Structure 1
Amino acid sequence: MKVLVVGSGGREHALCWAIKRSPLCDRLYCAPGNAGIAEVAECVAIGAEDVDGILRFAKDNAIDFVVVGPEGPLVLGLVDKLEAAGIKAFGPSAAAAELEGSKGFMKDLLAKYGVPTAFYQRFTDADAAKAYVRQHGAPIVVKADGLAAGKGVTVARSEEEAFAAIDEALVGGRFGSAGAEIVVEEFLDGEEVSFFALVDGATAVPLASAQDHKAVGDGDTGPNTGGMGAYSPAPVLTPDLEARVMREIVEPTVRGLAAEGRPFKGVLFGGLMIVRGADGKPVPKTLEFNVRFGDPECQTLMARFKSDVLAALLASRDGTLKPEDVQWHDAAALCVVMAAQGYPGDYLKNTEIRGLTEANAVEGATVFHAGTKADGGRVLATGGRVLGVTATAPTVREAQARAYQAVDRIQWPEGFCRRDIGWRAVER
């Protein structure tokens, strides 16, 4: 098969790396890709959200299967257009992708089909939203309805902070049309976990759990980011809790989307909060749904994936998914994100990274590229999150040691990372 992966981040590098190993893959392209992806795929200079450009390339090059990485092109209907042209694609339709494209739609769907989540209300009027905040008090969460590049969520510790977030979205227009409506919801206190399932429209097969680290600094301090590291599996999600997540969250959501005439195909990514019930026992609740692999969680999942990834993604698209399509290595995987100085604010660009070959030589380690470009024989940092240094080992503690050993071989003075990725699992 000729396969095209859409995207340019660490998630897409991990997907390309895994797909390349499939005996079904004869030729692999990535649009637009990055310096690391160029080592395993042919990079094509087409932006991930250039739907017409990707469609044209897929037709002109007789692409058999397109794997869409980021949420943007999914919400824009890339899968619909490819399928209409007779090209198989992995990912949900635009109608099903609204699960991530609109937080209000997602919350209404969960409420309708009895999926446990935080109580909430939708607002377009700032005064009404503030009255709701006064009624419920802080802490409380304010979310822009649409896609805001991970920047649209405020966990407000005071009513004043919530009011400022409301004004920023509804009065100041910080998020444009994505913030023309907001969701104000209950603050859930617990341990956050990412859970993934492959879905073929009707059947959902659990993938694995992972835990992301959103805050920029050690000890979960500083502003939130797109993710500074992850590990899989997450010990907080026991086998009993995982079965409960499938039964109470994933399966009702999949049934609900089908009943609404929006059957979901692709990867369903649940951001969950494990809270304590009245009896003191852990209870999973849904913070949000995403309609694609997480980044950096995808790097850890692909490192642990034992089955043929391409065959599993095809089965999801074809409606033939079976539990045996998904097999895992017993090893744990841990990914440390290296970011450019200044991230998540204004960050340095076009600085040179050395030592990548030496880092990749560490046993069990793979350096996935996110924001990089090749410049002759040099690799330059072009994004905020730049590398995902990933390692596998029998335990999270050993995977952590290997990942940081690889990090320490990378020569990039203008970069930084957290030094405590995996601390919860190691502490356990």
Structure 2
Amino acid sequence: MDPKRFLFLSLDSALIGDLAWQVAREGHDVRYYIEAESDREITDGFVPKTDDWRAAVDWADVIIFDDIWVGDEVGTGELAQELRDAGHAVVGGTPATDRLEEDRGYAMSVLEDNGVDTLDHREFTDFDTAIEYVREHPAPYVIKPLGEVQNVKRLLYVGREVDGSDVVEVLRAYKKAWGHRMKGFQLQRRVEGVEVAICGFFDGDQFVEPINFNFEHKKLFPGNIGPSTGEMGTSMFWAGRNRLFRETLGQIESWLADEGYVGSIDLNCIVNDHGIYPLEFTPRFGYPTIALQEESFESPTGAFFYDLAHGTDPALRVHEGYQVAVRIVLPPFPFDDPKTYDENSRNAAVVFERDSRDGIHLEDAKNVDGQWRAAGESGMPIIVTGMGETMQDARRQAYGRIDDIVIPNMYYRDDIGERWIDGEGDRLQAWGYLGP
């Protein structure tokens, strides 16, 4: 493919720098816009920037949005739709697909209308009403904040007690600490099983094959304990339209086509021997999921997203084994503490003990005179990936690469991918979800 012009847009936090860097390294002309002032140094020295994205719209062959947020408001889907209507090729959502993430009740109704079974769930705007509901219907529940505060990942709470008593106590605590900001939340019945996300790239008409199946590791510490984070790492593989896909994303393929959606969409589910139970949508790129997907692409990344945005039958060749991504973080992640960040992490040097940068992906990093450094204020400088014929091989490669990296005060989970090895893969196969 001849070089094309790509405009990458972060209208809130900087998230998509690694994808922009990869496309630029393939020889395409790239411009990257970051709205958040605190994040604007991210990818400096790696990716060309612009400070006026609207002026670059007519220049671009492809426009790529990284999230659904415009500052504190949902809105990239509306912008993407307006740009498509004006004749531009866009990777991004629509107002309705943005709503799949912002409004969990709406997301469940879309699934139900398209023949997908969902767990019992209810929306609340009042803590006392929710507490009374749990007392009248004792069971383990998951508390899922709605709206802007859903991005505060540690507020998601997974109940443990069969009578819901722990959920009642957490709701009381949230009322005191977050009542002024948490305008709504969902209570969803908790079920046991294997948590797996079904992810596909949609070209405006249909899903591109193969389909991605990934396993998020959201807690801070190994063993899945500690506070919730956006994500500490991901393991994954690619496959065809198996039962997991057919009974979830496959059911809404026509709905997405009617919307004209273009991009990645992910549906996280709990699966057991009784069925598949959707939990939540990510109608955008996932992080660090996209870095790991990009690492496993065997077809050119820029060409794929150009064809995806133009709806011209994008070809996607991927690594056929397993993949693992590990997020490397710095204090005070996942919490906000500017003093701790300034004292321990700001501008921290990323030192590589080998010349190779294979499997190393940008997150909140910059390049200053050839030296990689932490950038921004979130404490997530890089992602390290590995691939292999087995999940154990992929883990070995990823953690071997981490052994050759030094960042003062860095920490990470050392168990990404172990759940698959310890039996999740066997259970999914035994239950008949993976197919040939």
Structure 1-normalised TM-score? 0.82
Selected match of 2:273 from 260, 273, 276: 276
1:269 positional shift = 0.8
Q: 1:228·1:418 contact (CA, 8 Å) conserved in 2? A: yes
- How far is 1:168 from its partner? 5.9
1:280 counterpart residue number:
none
Q: Give the one of 321, 328, 333 matched to 1:343.
A: 333
Q: Tell me, in whole angstroms, the C-alpha distance in 2 between the residues paired with 1:153 and 1:320.
A: 39
Instruction: List aligned pairs for 1:39-78, cutoff 5 A.
Output: 40-44=46-50, 46=51, 53-59=52-58, 62-73=59-70, 75-76=75-76, 77-78=78-79
* 1:265-414 → structure 2 map (5 Å cutoff): 265-277=262-274, 283-321=275-313, 325-345=315-335, 346=337, 348-349=341-342, 350-358=345-353, 361=356, 365-375=358-368, 378=371, 379-381=373-375, 382-414=377-409
Contact 2:350-2:374 within 8 A present in 1 as well:
no
Structure 1 counterpart of 2:83 = 82
More displaced, 374-383 or 165-174? Answer: 165-174
8 Å contact 2:140–2:190 — kept in the other structure? yes
Deviation at 1:276, TM superposition (A): 2.4
Does 2:198 correspond to 1:195? yes
1:188 and 1:273 in contact (8 A); partners too: yes
Q: Does the 8 Å CA contact 1:360/1:406 hold for their aligned counterparts?
A: no
Task: Assess if the C-alpha contact under 8 Å between 1:103 and 1:144 holds in 2.
Answer: no
Contact 1:11 1:296 survives alignment (8 Å):
no
Residue type of the alignment partner of 2:310: D
Q: CA deviation at 1:212?
A: 1.7
Letter in 2 for 1:298: I
Secondary structure at the aligned position of 1:348 is classed as: helix
Tell me the SS of whatever aligns to 1:316: helix
Q: Secondary structure at 1:28's aligned position in 2?
A: strand
Give how far 1:313 is off. 2.7
Q: Is the 8 A contact 1:275 1:284 kept in 2?
A: yes
1:161–1:232: structure 2 CA closer, same or farther, 3 Å change rule?
A: same
Change (3 A) 1:320 1:380: closer
Shift of 1:126: 2.7
Provide the C-alpha distance between the structure 2 equivalents of 1:218 and 1:121, rounded to a whole number of angstroms: 32
Q: Per the alignment, do residues 112 and 415 of structure 1 end up closer, same or farther by CA in structure 2, a change over 3 Å counting?
A: same
State the Cα distance separating 1:298 from its structure 2 match: 1.4
Separation in 2 of the partners of 1:157 and 1:88? 46
Residues 200/276 of structure 1: CA separation in 2 closer, same or farther (3 Å cut): same
Alpha-carbon separation, structure 2, partners of 1:262 and 1:287: 21
Give 1:41's aligned amino acid: V
Deviates more, 1:69-78 or 1:289-298: 69-78
Deviation track 1:88-146 (CA, whole Å, cap 9, x = no partner) reads: 21011123221112112112222222212211112223333223222332420111222
Name the residue aligned to 1:49: none
Structure 1 residues 11 and 211: alpha-carbon distance in aligned structure 2, compared to 1, 3 A threshold:
farther
- Structure-2 change in CA distance of 1:311 and 1:227 (3 Å): same
C-alpha separation between the residues in 2 aligned to 1:161 and 1:56?
52
Contact 1:55-1:82 within 8 A present in 2 as well: no
**Partner residue, 1:26:** 28
Q: State the shift of 1:183 in Å.
A: 1.4
For 1:185, the aligned partner's letter is Q
Contact 1:34 1:374 in 2 (8 A): no
Give 3-state SS (helix, strand or coil) of 1:106's partner: helix
Q: Residues 342, 355 of structure 1: CA spacing in aligned structure 2 closer, same or farther, 3 A cutoff? A: closer
TM-score by length of 2: 0.81
Check 1:310–1:167 CA distance in 2 against 1; reply closer, same or farther (3 A cut): farther
Summarize the Cα distance change of 1:208–1:356 in structure 2 as closer, same or farther, 3 Å threshold.
farther
Give 1:174 shift: 5.0
How many residue pairs get matched? 399
Shift of 1:181: 2.4
**Secondary structure of the residue that 1:43 maps to in structure 2?**
coil
**How far, CA to CA, are the matches of 2:173 and 2:85 in structure 1?**
39
1:156 Cα deviation from its structure 2 partner: 2.4
Could you tell me how far 1:165 is from its partner in structure 2? 4.4
Find out whether 1:208 has 2:202 as its counterpart: no
**Structure 1's 141 and 192: CA in aligned 2 closer, same or farther, altered over 3 A?**
same
Q: Name structure 2 gaps, 5 residues minimum.
A: 424-436
Conservation of the 8 A alpha-carbon contact between 1:193 and 1:211: yes
Tell me, in whole angstroms, the C-alpha distance in 1 between the residues paired with 2:397 and 2:42.
Answer: 20
Question: Residues 111 and 295 from structure 1, CA distance in 2 versus in 1: closer, same or farther, beyond 3 angstroms?
Answer: same
Report how far residue 20 of structure 1 moved. 3.3
2:168 to 163, 172, 183: 163
The Cα of 1:300 is off from its aligned counterpart by 1.4
SS at match of 2:406: coil
Q: Which amino acid aligns with 1:163?
A: V
> What percentage of residue pairs aligned between the two structures are identical?
23
Q: In the alignment, is the contact (CA less than 8 A) between 2:123 and 2:185 conserved in 1? A: yes
- 2:426 aligns to what? none
- Residues 164 and 380 of structure 1: CA distance in aligned 2, closer, same or farther (over 3 Å): same
* Corresponding residue for residue 417 of structure 2: 422
Q: Quick check: 332-341 or 143-152, which moved more?
A: 143-152
Alignment check: 8 A CA contact 2:28 2:302 kept? no
How many Å apart are 1:307 and its aligned residue? 2.2
1:227 correspondence with 2:231: yes
What is the SS of the residue equivalent to 1:269?
Answer: strand
Q: CA RMSD in A?
A: 3.0
Q: Judge which range, 139-148 or 349-358, deviates more.
A: 349-358
Report what 1:143 is aligned to.
144
CA contact (8 A) 2:214 2:234 kept: yes
Q: How big is each residue's C-alpha offset from its partner over 1:195-232, in whole Å with a ceiling of 9 and x where there is no partner? A: 21112333123431121211111111111111111122
Q: How far does the alpha carbon of each residue in 1:155-185 deviate from its partner, in whole angstroms, 9 at most, with x for none?
A: 1224344234445666754573xx3222111
